[in-house]
Structure 1
């Protein structure tokens, strides 16, 4: 069985050959403007434009849903709705929704297998979403790694 590969670098500049899906977490209120999405928007316009259209249409726009956009040859971006709102609640509940991340990754599996694609990502859900990597990592292992999908996690220098 494969395991998650960790490397230093920029997840928007995948360092392998072949098909790649860059995966990241989005919120469920149509907000795009802080965090890793800014690095995506700097490289490609389509993921943000598609996310905003998706939000406006409200078609399947909810926690646990995904949207995959081809941005260049061999590279797709997967917008995953895994965050409820954008700020920690007064009760101290972070925006991350682990069960939504799990549903997103489950929906990503057949897409990745069909494209024969590797998954590249930052430490999803652990920045502005307030998640803990020790919660996210086992979900990635359970869903992607067990399906023999190579996963590359980038720690930005």
Structure 2
């Protein structure tokens, strides 16, 4: 089985040839304003607009924990909005917003799309920033859902 490639850099500038999907975790409140989404919005306006519309029209679509939305931003680049976070962390929060089960389901949907597009997947350490998750819980999900299906995955760590 292939292994996750870890690199230093910006996941919004995915490396390599062919079709690429940039994946990240979103909350289920329709919030978009902190963390990695800011880098996504600086590079491409479409994912934020699509996510906000998806949330606004949620009564008539599949928006919710475990859902995945795919937005084409360049001829060979897509962004995957993965709903894997219940709410957001506030000063009064007890516990973390990450929902590992939802990330697992969303990664399955990401894998299906990556196979369909013959794409590689590029991401920061999803679910580990503002969502409060740990990579030791996320990495096995990425391995099981993506690598086990032969999908190349690159994880980007920002430069110090």
Common fold: TM-score over 0.5: yes
- Segments of structure 2 that go 5 or more residues without pairing to the other structure are none
Following the alignment from structure 2 to structure 1, what is the Cα–Cα distance between the partners of residues 114 and 121?
8
Partner of 2:95: 93
Q: What residue in structure 2 maps to residue 131 of structure 1?
A: 133
Provide the TM-score with structure 1 as the length reference: 0.97
1:30 is the counterpart of 2:30? yes
Deviation (angstroms), 1:88? 6.1
**Per-residue CA distance 1:88-117 (angstroms, 9 max, x = gap):** 696732000000000001111111001000
Question: What count of residue pairs does the alignment treat as equivalent?
Answer: 157
Residue number in structure 2 paired with 1:45: 45
Stretches of 4+ aligned residues off by more than 4 angstroms: 88-91
Distance in 1, matches of 2:106 and 2:112, equals 11
Deviation at 1:66, TM superposition (A): 0.4
| SS of match in other structure, 2:78 | strand
Taking only aligned residues, the RMSD between alpha carbons, in angstroms, comes to 1.2
8 Å CA contact 1:88, 1:95 repeated in 2:
no
* Counterpart position of 1:152: 154
Alignment of 1:9-88 (within 5 A): 9-58=9-58, 59-87=61-89
Cα deviation for residue 73 of structure 1 reads 1.3
